[in-house]
Structure 1
Amino acid sequence: MSVGDNHQSVTRRQVLHTGAVGGAIAVTGCVGSGDDSISYISRGGATHDAEREVMAEWSDESGIDVTHQEVADDTEMLELIAENPDEFDFTNPNQAAFAQHGLLYDEELFTEIDYGEIPNYDNIKDDWQDAPFLQGHDYGTFYYNNSQGIAYNTEHADPTSWEDIKDPDHEDVLTLHDNAIARFANTCAQLDLDPAQAVNDDALFEDVFDEMEALHENVFTYWAAGDEWMRLLREEQAYLVEGWGGRTETLMQDDHPVGYVIPEEGCLTYATGFAVVEASDMKDEVYDLLNFLYERENAVSLSLGHRYPVQLEDPPDEITGRYDYVDDPDEVVWFDWDEILPIQDELEERFNEVKSL
């Protein structure tokens, strides 16, 4: 079925202006997607596991299966959709991927969302519906936010600041993300710099990499996948980790002595939104699933499962108790990925130099 045959589509801007309800989740289909199934492509791990469980409830009600494909990161996700657009229905890009969608794919992979088809999207706070990474386009709906701060072993560390991880006592027990953009963004936060300003000012750019070298002094390894840093912290090879709040909660629930802090200087903010693939012929079904996911009870189930806050109006304790929860988008640091992505190759080259020291 196609969307919009018998009604006028509604944009997010219209929804926010009129108070109407709207929201959409990125939906991508996999090989074999047909009238009795829709295909979802996303990053793996605990987040995808939680989504599988809640989406299965919708399948039981609707009779439509959701097939799942897991990828390593958002770049691979976009590449697969671009190469095989007819095989995907929806997905959940992060804010950097939405920037890539515009810069690398001319905003052609995803369809403009008909927010009127997702009345339960009204359960998301208005300020988060218009979060910075969604402004200027209507290709996604807000899903959840998380942060990349400091996870730590509570028996050996108690950091509150990025400066704390430079303490000589933490030599060879620190692991940071093996990602040039993430490291650049977090180091900018540490130095109270706007990354967009730093990439356009030679002196500030060098200041950032000088600080990255200072942080490197205590690093015994850089991690690439979330499971890797969790293992290092769990096995007490690392006492301090540049990690995510939700995964830290998973370790804490398993009775490991861990804590998490958003450093006082701020840190990289990740947020995701659902997006619907332009080539999908199952848009009506995707909208119905998204509407199901935005029901309060189901949104809470998702948050409990992956431990990241879905920003509901009047959120329950199960959501406000998340390590990554903040009430307002202005309380976290947002980055202009449109400015950072064009110099990704240079960032990676310089980051490799830091790691080789």
Structure 2
Amino acid sequence: MKSLLITRPLPDAVLEKARGAFQTTVRLNNMPMQSDELRDALRNFDLVLPSLGDAFDAQVFADVSAPRCKLLANFGVGYNHINVEAAAKANVLVSNTPGAVTDATADVAMTLILMSARRAGEGERLVRAGQWKGWHPTQMLGMHVSGKTVGIAGMGRIGQAIAQRCHYGFGMAVKYWNRSEKDLPFAAERLESLSALAAQVDVLVAAVPGGAETQHLFDAEIFGVMQSHAHFINISRGEVVKESALVAALQNNEIGGAGLDVYEFEPRVPDALRKLDNVTLLPHLGTAALEIRTQMGLMAVGNLLAYEQGETPPNLV
């Protein structure tokens, strides 16, 4: 029976499935693995089920010349914390869990769109602080979302799910920026540049993958061309946003507001951002539903089982 390290506690159903097939060790720590732990994982286990923040970078693989581990079955769709090229050179496969995260992440995007546009976070803070003086006709006027235009940056599975919700649920016109044209079941206009998209929409949603190609994609230039009433939403990866530029845009009221589920230096959120009323801040809740996290875990274990049985894991990256 092959040995398996699961780097974070996971739902019971996932652990039960893993323990039925592998000699399973669960790391009882919710923080990302540190330097020595990463190297020990490659040396001491046949298989590893890592998660966001477990930084298997090129140096880790360079320090472990002949890893015992043959598969990193990542828990999550994003895998930019794993250097796939370095893993391949070390004969380590990498898989992920696409599909399972799509609807849950799209739902959180809609939560952020509505909370930001309708100033829901600000309103809740007002009530909790005991400062609400009662209803009046001009109280906390926000932006009506229905019938507006949404811009999706990155029209993959999650981007399409967000666009679908916006179009069918709120009658929003859809524009998007993507490397290729998408055949969609609803009207959508593809724009050639991100700046053109940012300039034309009422809500701009970041749904791009993480990685070197998208780091600081959303910077002062993008926030500078957005309309003054427009809202920026990020449910992708924190590093796709130059956080200091977003803070400046919000402080100077250059944009209408923002809704964030991820952060550039997560879990650190700068004081300047936390002090602003025109931003909604969530603690990376994108897939935080028991059934979704269970599906993700079972998909990761499915990748491990396929490898164990001599088959190609269905979600190799």
TM-score range relative to shorter protein: 0.3 to 0.5
**When the two structures are superposed, what TM-score results if normalisation uses the length of structure 1?**
0.30
| Greater Rg by CA | 2
> Could you tell me the TM-score, scaled by structure 2's length?
0.33
**More helix by proportion, 1 or 2?**
1
> Relative contact order: is structure 1 or structure 2 higher (C-alpha 8 Å, sep ≥ 6)?
1
